[in-house]
Structure 1
């Protein structure tokens, strides 16, 4: 059974959740850990001879140490690059937290040291008219890793997301700052200092901007040892 499981969310869509997840997987591998990952729901998939494939899911597959079938990593693949509940409705499918929990529990039973479950968009992305994606990690009681992009407005978005996670009864295990642009944001150091003082979790690292992101290189910017404690 996967000994440690974490849910990876972001303050918004396009903030680098997959890059951070892959870098954490690579960093764990350097510690000799066996790793697994999944992205239960992925919209924006490409048609291939093997079926629908999502770039983020393929990145996770490359970064993890264990071998899984694509459908285990991304059991719900949706073609349009739009909100998952809308993409699912267009495909005649109905997303539920119960179903996603089942997929995750299946992977939690696999041998390994670390399982990362990457969400879609931010914390309150809808699954259907009644549930948001947050319902899945809540049912699983899964600690959360938060990805924060270093750009204008990130303090507000990070604090609001952290507040929502804690209100839902979950622990924030750590957060990662990601530089989404080649030029550093104005007052980056002050922004990082404020987040480090006010987010209720340790910073796992600050990922530098790369024109061609390489999770193996970025792994060195992370300190994840304490994720395996206790």
Structure 2
């Protein structure tokens, strides 16, 4: 079983977009793919349950017939930092809770489990803990989504260095290009020099996930299966 974790240079950087495309591409290769988004903030209440739009989008692409509760066990209504949302409700977010949900997803015996993070690499959980500690404990391999905008070179290098310092393998990076960034090609070229890992895709924003999936070079990923 291949365990992948999707992180990014910041929040709203395209993690769900890239995760959807990756799931779509792997399912097209006849792989059984399960998804996990342990924490979300910014949810709508549907049938007495908080439902996150990102989790719904992941559910639509995966092929393990997962429930929203299985995909996203920790959800908050307010679109704020999860540990603050938990604090306002007098709750705590623990790594043990995250691992419990992850183990339920692993039990599905998928070929690939794709876990989408929240925020950036050092998302605080409260009480001095970080979501990255869960990634370490579960020995997932990491894919870094770089939101192509002013400041992304610094963010990308620092995030990559933190992943490596945590003893994890960063399989590759994706340039997410939602806007017409000035000197986009030059910035991507600089990141190719600065990051000693494979560039998996340059992804312009599209509502067609099939087109987005086609941009991904997943050979390095499928070679691990």
- Whether these two folds match at TM > 0.5 is yes
Match of 1:187 in 2: 183
Alignment of 1:204 onto 2:200: yes
Q: Give the Cα–Cα distance (whole angstroms) in 1 for the partners of residues 41 and 168 of structure 2.
A: 26
Residue 59 (structure 1) aligned to one of 49, 57, 60 = 57
- In structure 2, C-alpha distance between the alignment counterparts of 1:225 and 1:25, rounded to whole Å: 14
Q: Deviations over 1:46-71 (max 9, x none)?
A: 11125110000000000112201111
- Superposed, which structure 2 residues align to 1:64-213 within 5 Å? 64-181=62-179, 184-210=180-206, 213=207
> Could you say what the CA RMSD is over the residues aligned between the two structures, in angstroms?
1.1
Out of 63-72 and 12-21, give the one that drifted further: 63-72
Counterpart of 2:39? 41
Q: Is the contact between residue 5 and residue 114 of structure 2 (CA under 8 Å) also seen in structure 1?
A: yes
Deviations 1:96-124 (A, max 9, x none): 11221221122122122111111100011
Q: Is 1:20 matched with 2:14?
A: no
Q: Residues 44 and 79 of structure 1 are in contact (CA less than 8 Å); yes or no, is this contact kept in structure 2?
A: yes
For the 8 Å contact 2:23–2:61, the answer to whether it is kept is: yes
Q: CA deviation at 1:200?
A: 2.7
TM-score by length of 1: 0.94
Instruction: State the distance in 1 between where 2:129 and 2:66 align.
Output: 28
Deviations 1:13-71 (A, max 9, x none): 00010000000000111111111111101100111125110000000000112201111
What corresponds to 1:225 in structure 2?
A: 219
Whole-angstrom CA distance in 1 between matches of 2:139 and 2:12: 25
Q: Secondary structure at the match of 2:155?
A: helix
Q: Write the distance in 2 (CA, Å) between the matches of 1:122 and 1:9.
A: 6
Secondary structure of residue in 1 paired with 2:126: coil
Task: Name stretches of at least 5 consecutive residues in structure 2 with no aligned partner.
Answer: none
Give the alignment's TM-score, normalised by structure 2.
0.96
Matched with 1:29 is 27
Shift of 1:129: 2.2
Whether the aligned pair in 2 keeps the contact of 1:5 and 1:108 (CA below 8 Å) is: no
**Partner Cα separation in structure 2 for residue 165 and residue 197 of structure 1:** 18
